[in-house]
Copies of this chain bind each other. A is one copy, B any other.
């Protein structure tokens, strides 16, 4: 039987769950799984429901609107593969991992293309029969470079951009084209070691654990809402390069895990933080 996804967030109110499930019940749909969360500080309500059966979206939405506060954010969707585009630079481990997982049908997405400011990853990408666009930043201003990328992206209409170790920083103007739709993997346990060369910073500080953080990209570098983090132990025998190499193992898993959560609509963004129904 077909399935339908309902995502709601709105100010909390007495009877919300009752009112929402009444609509669902009256339409003859069955709840397969249901997650709710109320942020008690702000009194905000979040709900993700998977339904068996389906109902025309417009009418469903209208019925929900009738019982929800005016400012409610209602999203309905079928559980379907979402189009994405991956951006990378030279390092192959995160990109390769996503390509492999995608080939193995682990991720509910359709990788439309890979865009890179270098040509290094072409062979890897094309061996998975994914289009590869080399858009060099040389002899181009940042704005010109981003215009080229935006133009290239247009043809693919991606739901999300995935930065798989894309080592350039986007301007706020670029980010505005994909608000809360760009996922980055940062190679540190944020907010430690913001900015460049986090493994060198970690080495210099002599930490005993290194980490990796996936987050949505906002206008403020490395300050977007965190989706997933993971860590591994290191010790005094690790050089900065050794930390970088060890870190790859968690970078790719953290990126893949966060992408899967986002693609399955398990991630709500609220005030620079995420609510993750995993």
Contact = CB atoms under 8 A, between A and B. Distances in A.
Contacts of A205: 190-191, 226, 273
A71 interface: no
Interface residues of A, number: 67
Contact of A207 (B36, B91, B190, B193): B190
A237 B37 contact: yes
B226 A206 contact: yes
Main DSSP-derived SS at the A contact region: mixed
Interface string A1-43: 0000000000000111110011011001011111011111000
A17 B34 contact: yes
Interface of A: 14-18, 21-22, 24-25, 28, 30-34, 36-40, 91-93, 96-97, 100-101, 103-104, 106, 124, 127-128, 189-193, 205-209, 211, 225-231, 233, 235-237, 239, 245, 248-249, 253, 256-257, 272-276
Q: Which 5 A-B pairs have the closest CB atoms?
A: A206-B273, A127-B127, A18-B21, A192-B192, A18-B25
